[in-house]
Amino acid sequence: MASMENIKKENDYILEVRNLKKYYPLSRFSLGKSRAYVKAVDDVSFKIKRGTTMGLVGESGCGKTTVGRSILRLHDITGGQVIFDGQDLAKIPPSKLRKMRPQMQMIFQDPYSSLSPRMPVGEIIGEAVKEHKIVPKSEYRSHILKVMRDCGLQPQYFYRYPHEFSGGQRQRISIARAVALKPKFIICDEPLSALDVSIQAQIINLMKDLQERYGYTYLFISHDLSVVEYISDTIGVMYLGSMVEIGDKKRIFDNPMHPYTKALLSAVPISDPDVKMNRIILSGDIPSPVNPPSGCKFRTRCQHCMDICSREVPKLKEYEEGHMVACHLYSQD
């Protein structure tokens, strides 16, 4: 049913992020006006269609997680707008935001530290259901048990504590916790990176099943490109706090345009040993986000660096339909 709705509303965006910025001041007590900032997220914009999955990729420290947390306003943002279902989350007062929280949930990276060790599983999943009165009191227990069944958790786990479970089961608990609130939108912050490969497949299939059944919208943050390729509809590539390329999955994988995306894709291992990989090896390290290079942030590691790259910041421009890239290579013609 949910998918029917999606077809009807072709241009129905559940989330739109405009010019999102999150700067961390380096020192609290620095004197003078020129304080140094870590620009964790610097002017990021994107949209997600209802019922689809957007994958957000990039190497560690590029600001993917900060984007996720900024959207849910788990910390204050420096600038920009986060429009969720027509409302700017960055502006609404905290009390109202709290009431909206069930609609947007998050699954965290580490299933070991994201569950309170002193709460039994039933309470972890059900606490916020009670708080926000998601279901009538009489249906509370059956709702929790249904969610647990949906997520592959047996009903007798209800009274057990998180430490009695394996990583995969704990991540199922995290998912059940998020799903129990009947959200519209779920941010998955590297939900697989702490798990074994065999468990990863189970969890990602579980997430896909749930999406098909309940029509969730996902923002899937990961550095694992093969996982992102499997689950996403659109993909955004981040480098040092900025979005360098964004587009439909097929277009990104078939025709990567930004030199950084090309390098990333070339690094995905191929399971056939006879195929020779043409890996693009990036030279140098990721620059410090305190003093990012002028102009294009990627220019210090780019093979195609030109004069203009150090002078002008490349803007994210639509190159073909549903495919945007921020690179001077394509803006000249």
Partner 1 sequence: MLKYILKRLGLAFIILIGASILIYMLSMLMPADFIDTQTAAALQSGAMTMDDVMRLKELYGLADKSFGGIMKSYFSWLKSALSGDLGFSFLYQKPVTKVLSEYIWLSFMIAFISYILEIAIGIPMGIKASVNQYSAYDYTVSVFAMMGTALPSFFLSALLLNVFAIKLRIFPLQGLTTATKIFDKNAYIQIFLDKAWHLVLPITVLTLLNAGYIMKFTRTNMLEVLNSDYIRTARAKGLSEKTVTYKHAFRNTMIPLVTTLSGMIPGLFGGAMITETVFAIPGIGYMALRATLQGDIPFIMGYNMFLAVLTVLGMLISDLMYMVVDPRVKLS
Measured CA distances, 327 to 238, 247, 265, 292, 317 (Å) = 13, 14, 17, 16, 8
Tokens in use for 110? 């580490």
Q: Which is nearer to partner 1, 40 or 325 (CB)?
A: 40
Site residues (CB under 8 A) for partner 1, limited to 164-183: 174, 177, 181
Nearest CB to partner 1, comparing residues 115 and 210: 115
| Residue 77: how many other CB atoms lie within 10 Å | 20
Report the C-alpha gap between 144 and 252 in whole angstroms: 39
Binding span for partner 1 by CB under 8 A among 8-16, 92-100, 197-205, 222-230: 92-100
| Using rule CB under 8 A, residue 83 touches partner 1 | no
- Measured from the CB atom, the residue of 183 and 241 that comes closer to partner 1 is 183
Q: Where are the beta strands (DSSP E) in 229-316?
A: 234-239, 242-248
Nearer to partner 1, 163 or 276 (CB): 163
Amino acid at 172: R
**Is 247 an interacting residue with respect to partner 1 (CB under 8 A)?**
no
Name which of residues 46 to 75 contact partner 1 (CB under 8 A): 69, 72, 74
In the complex, minimum distance from the CB of residue 23 to partner 1, in angstroms, rounded to a whole number: 18
Residue 211 corresponds to which amino acid?
Q
Amino acid in position 249: K
How many residues make contact with partner 1 (CB under 8 A)? 28
28 binds partner 1 (CB under 8 A): yes
Answer yes or no whether residue 114 interacts with partner 1 by CB under 8 A. yes
Strand-pairing partners, residue 125, are none
- The answer to whether 276 contacts partner 1 (rule: CB under 8 A) is no
The correct pick among 18, 47, 101, 223 for binding partner 1 (CB under 8 A) is 101
Q: DSSP states of 124-192 as a string?
A: HHHHHHHHTT-S-GGGHHHHHHHHHHHTT--GGGGG--GGGS-HHHHHHHHHHHHHTT--SEEEEESTT
- Asked if 99 touches partner 1 (CB under 8 A), the answer is yes
Q: Is 273 exposed, middle or buried (0-12, 13-18, 19+ CB in 10 A)?
A: exposed
Q: Of 105, 111, 127, give the one whose Cα is nearest residue 188.
A: 105
For residue 225, what are its two tokens?
Answer: 């490109």
Quick check: 87 binds partner 1 (CB under 8 A)?
no
- Residue 113 in the binding site for partner 1 (CB under 8 A): yes
Gap between the Cα atoms of 104 and 68, Å rounded: 11
257 forms part of the interface with partner 1 (CB under 8 A): no
**Which residues between 126 and 165 bind partner 1 (CB under 8 A)?**
127-128, 131-132, 161, 163
Smallest separation, CB 291 to partner 1 (Å): 26
Q: Does 115 bind partner 1 (CB under 8 A)?
A: yes
| C-beta closer to partner 1: residue 133 or 315 | 133
Toward partner 1, which CB reaches closer, 113 or 291?
113
User: Exposure of 154 by Cβ count < 10 A (0-12 exposed, 13-18 middle, 19+ buried)?
Assistant: exposed
By CB under 8 A, residue 304 contacts partner 1: no
- Interface residues toward partner 1, by CB under 8 A: 28, 69, 72, 74, 98-102, 105-106, 108, 110, 113-118, 127-128, 131-132, 161, 163, 174, 177, 181
